[in-house]
A and B are shown apart, each in its own frame.
Chain A
Amino acid sequence: MIGNNLPVLIVVVPLLAALVIPLVRKGNVAWFVAMTACIAVFAGAIELLVRVSDHGPISYALGNWPPPIGIEYRIDRLNAFVLLIVSGISVVVTLFARLSVAREIPADRVHFFYSAYLMCITGLLGITITGDAFNLYVLLEISSLATYTLVAMGAQPHALRASFNYLVLGTIGATFLLIGIGHLYMATGTLNMLDLHQRLPSLMESRTVRSGFAFIIVGASLKLALFPLHLWLPSAYTHAPSAVTALLAATATKVGAYILLRFLFTIFGVGFSFHVLRADVALLIAAAVAIVAGSLIAIRQQNVKRMLAYSSIAQIGYITLGIGLASVTGLTAGILHLFNHALMKGALFLALGCVVYRVGSAHIDALAGLGRRMPWTFAAFTLAGLSLIGIPPTAGFISKWYLVRAAFETGWWPIAVLVLVGSLLALIYIWRVVEAAYFRPAPRAHRNVEEAPLSLLVPTWILVLANLYFGIDTDLSVGAASRAAAMLLGTVTGSP
């Protein structure tokens, strides 16, 4: 019975856990419930990925209403892979959260924190798994509302403003998506993604569909924080609690990219998105500016958390670049970078969380000389930083390699130059932190700082080692990404 209902359990388990947690009122019990739920979901996601790669797409009818009428959960190679990323990262971050959250959140609110935290994960998993366009909007709002709450729990009053700005922009983005989905419904009379895919090709000339396309792409790009719609991201990441920043950086923007992929390729199809409406030009330009501007602004930041946030904007640029190239190699690179960026940014933000746990600040001056005091933390930061720059044998190198290959294959060679420039800029901002940590003397107040506790270091190093592992053994990540890419492009020609 559990086997058959696995798709819905992936969403229901964290949702129910989120509702149970406020009742227990004890921080540690709340953490334990959250951890159990995350592990259960992760196990379910692995099982789903195995099943999908063995037997092809799984369709699950919610409440036994057959798909075009009822809501369908549909798992194929792409979202099984994204589910794995989201659930896997949430396990690692939850492991990290116990001590970090106990330090950063007042004790009487810890159980509310975990409730909102699980609600956020529920929404992200739901967006990924659903096969219904309107359901996607509802789950997007569930995860967003939970995220605003989580960001507002940051220690300083700045967190409140960051959360408010995020709420305003996030709501505008989600409403755009809602309007776009409304336009599609108006033209086709269906909300099921597969149904939409079948009915849209005959409506390519419809102005309703075209404006719906524009609304959806802008709405999804706002969630993804694609330049120039990224304005909510830096402050939200900077002021949110450490565990939340790691979770958001590694999962929320990835799910945003997934929404974009799903609409561009599965629902509208390559022919409409890229040949009729030329969305690739808009995406490539936005991505190119994101990479250069994000990296340049990152170099100038004094707060390392904000620096990594701007670096995220640049990295989202790489993902979008892969999507915009719209070739099999390009899409593989984009999906691969989705995975690898979750690993590297997760590791970087967790390492930074270790520093904040000990020092209480993420300012670059506060990090001075800590390389010797916290060797494991900064070794983790440096290794994850190398992965971010894209130095072999790390995961970051693999996705950039594919991106450069895709650029040459499709003839957009300036993109290869751009990737290289972006990597050099990343080298500069990562080096600033390394230089401060290893080559500057520690201020007197930090002479007695100790290494971060083991329960923070273990999750950080899990992600760092994953960065190294997926840089050497690429079978799982590249295999899954290229199969997902082939599937996305294959849906156009009709072969599954």
Chain B
Amino acid sequence: MQWLGHYNYWIYIALMMIGFYAVIAKPNLVKKVIGLGLFQTAAFLLYISIGMVEGGTAPIAWEHAILYVNPLPHVLILTAIVVAVSTLAVALALVIAINRAYGTVESDQIDAQDIKPGR
């Protein structure tokens, strides 16, 4: 039953696929952005899991500590979280601009407007 012990990796894959599905299948642009957020967050979970050392304690200087978990992936993922937040900000700004230009955030309705002659 070793595969059950890696349950955080299974959650990461599941989350990632849910997010990926939303990005592809949902016509609503805001829902797409939410899916994208899930997709990125799943990758964070992967990095945080990598840092785990069995029996390790939080990486804070402490006289009783024998083993620490690896803090480097956590630091890396802080950077990636900043990137994800910026991506979210740009994506939402674009959705607002699209809503202003088309009056809708549903991609099928936007497509219908784009095909109309005269645009």
Contact = CB atoms under 8 A, between A and B. Distances in A.
A141 B87 contact: yes
16 contacts: A138-B80, A141-B87, A145-B83, A145-B86, A152-B97, A160-B94, A160-B98, A160-B101, A167-B94, A168-B32, A168-B36, A168-B91, A171-B87, A178-B43, A182-B43, A182-B46
B56 to A, nearest CB: 15
Interface in B10-50: 20, 23, 29, 32, 36, 39-40, 43, 46-47, 50
Contacts of A158: 114
Contacts of A274: none
Contacts of A90: none
Contacts of B73: 182, 185
B36 to A, nearest CB: 6
B47 A182 contact: yes
A148 B36 CA distance: 15
B76 interface: yes
Q: At the interface, is chain B mostly helix, strand, loop or mixed? A: helix
B29 A164 contact: yes
A175 to B, nearest CB: 5
A186 B50 contact: yes
A219 to B, nearest CB: 11
Contact of B83 (A138, A164, A179): A138
B46 A179 contact: yes
A160 B105 CA distance: 12
B28 to A, nearest CB: 12
Nearest to A181: B76
Q: Which of A134, A141, A160 has the most CB of B within 10 A?
A: A160
Interface string A62-94: 000000000000000000000000000000000
Q: Which of A141, A167, A175, A185 has the most CB of B within 10 A?
A: A175
Contacts of B94: 148, 152, 160, 163-164, 167
Nearest to B20: A172
Interface of B: 20, 23, 29, 32, 36, 39-40, 43, 46-47, 50, 73, 76, 79-80, 83, 86-87, 90-91, 94-95, 97-98, 101-102, 110, 114
A26 interface: no
Given A164-B91, A182-B50, A157 B86 contact: no
A179 B91 CA distance: 21
A138 B50 CA distance: 19
A134 B83 CA distance: 12
Contact of B87 (A138, A167, A191): A167
A164 B95 contact: yes
Given A157-B98, A172-B39, A182-B43, A141 B23 contact: no
A145 B32 CA distance: 17
B90 A167 contact: yes
A141 B86 CA distance: 9
A25 B40 CA distance: 35
A141 B95 CA distance: 19
A141 B98 contact: no
Contacts of B79: 134, 138
Contacts of A164: 29, 91, 94-95, 98
A161 interface: yes
A311 interface: no
B35 to A, nearest CB: 9
A122 interface: no
Contacts of A175: 39-40, 43
A178 B44 CA distance: 9
